[in-house]
Structure 1
Amino acid sequence: MSAPTVLVVEDEPSQREVLVYNLEAEGYDVLSADAGDAAWEMARDEGPDLILLDWMLPEVSGIEVCRRIKAAPETRAIPVVMISARAEELDRVRGLETGADDYVVKPYSVPELMARIRTQLRRVRPASVGATLEHGDVSLDAETHRVTRAGTEIHLGPTEFRLLSTFLERPGRVWSREQLLDRVWGRDIHVDTRTVDVHVGRLRKALRNATGEDDPIRTVRGAGYALG
C-alpha cells in the first residue's frame, strides 16, 4: 500500500523544511504549499490523507482554508491538524469549531506532533498503522499480513492484500479505478486502469474460494468498486 500523503501548509521556509524532513523520515509522502489558495487547490486536486495547516498564512488564512476544506464534500473527511502560535483558549476553540481535528501550538515537540498525526491517520488509514480491519466475515491484520474469511485463512498476493486493505478501510465507499491506482500502486507509478480490474478479479476469486460465500465486492457501473 502506498504511504499516507501529508500536505504541509506553512509559509515560513525554515519551518516548512523541518516539517517536510521529519514527515519524510517517518515514511510519509509529502506535499507542501506556502499560501492559502494553493493549499485549498492541492487539498481538492490531490486528496491528501492529512493536512498540517498553519493558521497565519498570506492572503487567505489557515482558518478560511480549513473552513473550505470542511465545507466541500470531496475534502471534508481529510483530517486537519492546525498549527499556530496563538495559544489562547479562545483561539484553540475557534480553530476546532472551524473544523480542525487537532490544534498544536508553536513551538511544538516534533515527536508529539508525529504522534498526533499517527492518531489522525489511524482513523482514516488504519491499515497504514498496523490495525486489524474487519467487515462482515472478512478480517485483515495489517501487522501480521494475515487475512481470514469466516475463520478460514486466505493467501493473497501483495497487490490483492493492499486492495483489500483499501476496501476495508472504507466499507461501502465507491473507489474509482484511478483512486485505487493512486492508493494501491502509488501516485508516481504509471499503470493502466485495466490492471485494477485484473487484480480486483483475483481478489474476488480468493475471497469466494475460501468459503464458497458470495462475492463481497460489488462493481458500480461507470464508477468503480466497493466493498459491501
Structure 2
Amino acid sequence: MIWCVEDDNSIRDIEIYTLKSTGFDARGFEDGDSFWKELVSTDTLPELVLMDIMLPGEDGITLLKKMREMPKTEDIPVIMATAKGMEFDKVQSLDTGADDYLVKPFGMMEMVSRIKAVLRRCSPKKKEHIYSNGDIHMNVDGHIVSIDGRVINLTFKEYEMLKLFLSNQGIVYTRDQLLSEIWGVDYFGETRTVDMHIKTLRQKLGESGKCIKTVRNVGYRMETFIE
C-alpha cells in the first residue's frame, strides 16, 4: 500500500489512479493532519509514503521528521515531492531522512519508477535461516544438514523432525504431538513410527544424536549442547 499525501486533488487523484493501474494499492490524504492521525492509529502501515513538502497545517518536512523519530514509523520509505528550483527543500528532505525526492511537475511513469526503485532498495535483505546445536547445523534455505561440517543425508520426515527439535530446543514433544506436527493431523499411524524415526535420526547424527533425549512416559526433547 502506497500512501500519497498531496493537497491538490487533481494531482492526488492521478497519482492514485496511476499507482493502482500499475499494480499497487494506493490511498490518498489531502493534508498532513489526516495522514498523521491515520498513521499513528493504524495497525497496517504503508509500504511507502509519497509526500508533498507544501501541505496545509504541518508541512512534509515536519511530518517526515516525526516519522523518523517514532519507532513504529522510522523505517517506512518516504519520497518527498519538492517544487522546481527549491534546492534547499531537496537537501533538507534527504538530510531529514527521505529516501528519494521528485521535482514537480513530474511524470507519472517517473513516479512509479522511483517508487519501485526505493522499494527494492529498502526491502529487507534475505537472510539464511540457520539452526544449530553443538556440531549440528541446519541451513533451512539450502535444505542442508551437517555435523561438524560434514553433510548428512536425512529422509524428509527425519529432516522435519530435526528442524522441529532445533527450533524448539528444551521443549518436550509427546509422540502424538510429533505425529501431528510431522505427519499431519489426519495421520492415523502408530506412535511406534515416531520411535523408529527417532532411532534412525540419532544414528545418522552420531555422537550429536545424544542431544535428543527420551522423556520417560512422555516423549522426546532436544537438549542444548553447552559449549
TM-score > 0.5 by shorter chain: yes
Cα distance between partner residues in 1 of 2:10 and 2:78: 21
| Alignment-derived partner of residue 221 in structure 1 | none
TM normalised by structure 1 equals 0.56
| Alignment-derived partner of residue 195 in structure 2 | none
How far the C-alpha of 1:81 sits from its partner, in A, is 0.3
Task: Note the alpha carbon deviations across 1:124-164, whole angstroms, 9 max, x for none.
Answer: 446xxxxx8332349xxxxxxxxx835339xxxxxxxxxxx
Which one of the candidate residues 141, 153, 167 is aligned to 1:215?
167
Cα distance between partner residues in 1 of 2:76 and 2:161: 36
Cα distance between partner residues in 2 of 1:89 and 1:208: 62
| Amino acid in structure 1 at the alignment position of 2:167 | D
TM-aligned CA distance change 1:150 to 1:108, over 3 Å: closer
How far the C-alpha of 1:15 sits from its partner, in A, is 0.2
SS at match of 2:23: coil
How far the C-alpha of 1:207 sits from its partner, in A, is 11
1:35 aligns with 2:31: yes
Greater RCO (Cα-Cα under 8 Å, separation 6 or more): 1
Residues 127-146 of structure 1: pairs in structure 2 closer than 5 A: 133-137=126-130
Residues 124-203 of structure 1: pairs in structure 2 closer than 5 A: 124-125=122-123, 133-137=126-130, 149=140, 151-152=142-143
Provide the aligned length of Structure 1 versus Structure 2: 146
| Alignment-derived partner of residue 52 in structure 1 | 50
Instruction: Say which one has the larger Rg.
Output: 2
Q: Is the contact made by 2:52 and 2:81 (CA closer than 8 Å) also made in structure 1?
A: yes
Q: Is the contact made by 1:152 and 1:210 (CA closer than 8 Å) also made in structure 2?
A: no
- Structure 1 gaps, min length 5: 127-131, 139-147, 154-205, 217-228
How far the C-alpha of 1:45 sits from its partner, in A, is 2.6
Cα distance between partner residues in 1 of 2:33 and 2:117: 27
TM-aligned CA distance change 1:6 to 1:81, over 3 Å: same
TM-aligned CA distance change 1:27 to 1:211, over 3 Å: farther
Aligned residues with identical type, % of pairs: 34
TM-aligned CA distance change 1:84 to 1:150, over 3 Å: closer
1:93 aligns with 2:91: yes
How far the C-alpha of 1:89 sits from its partner, in A, is 2.3
| Alignment-derived partner of residue 172 in structure 2 | none
Q: Is the contact made by 1:10 and 1:57 (CA closer than 8 Å) also made in structure 2?
A: yes
Cα distance between partner residues in 1 of 2:101 and 2:143: 43
Cα distance between partner residues in 1 of 2:161 and 2:130: 10
TM-aligned CA distance change 1:24 to 1:152, over 3 Å: same
TM-aligned CA distance change 1:20 to 1:150, over 3 Å: closer
TM-aligned CA distance change 1:118 to 1:207, over 3 Å: farther
SS at match of 2:95: helix
Cα distance between partner residues in 1 of 2:120 and 2:93: 22
Supply the RMSD in Å over aligned alpha carbons: 2.8
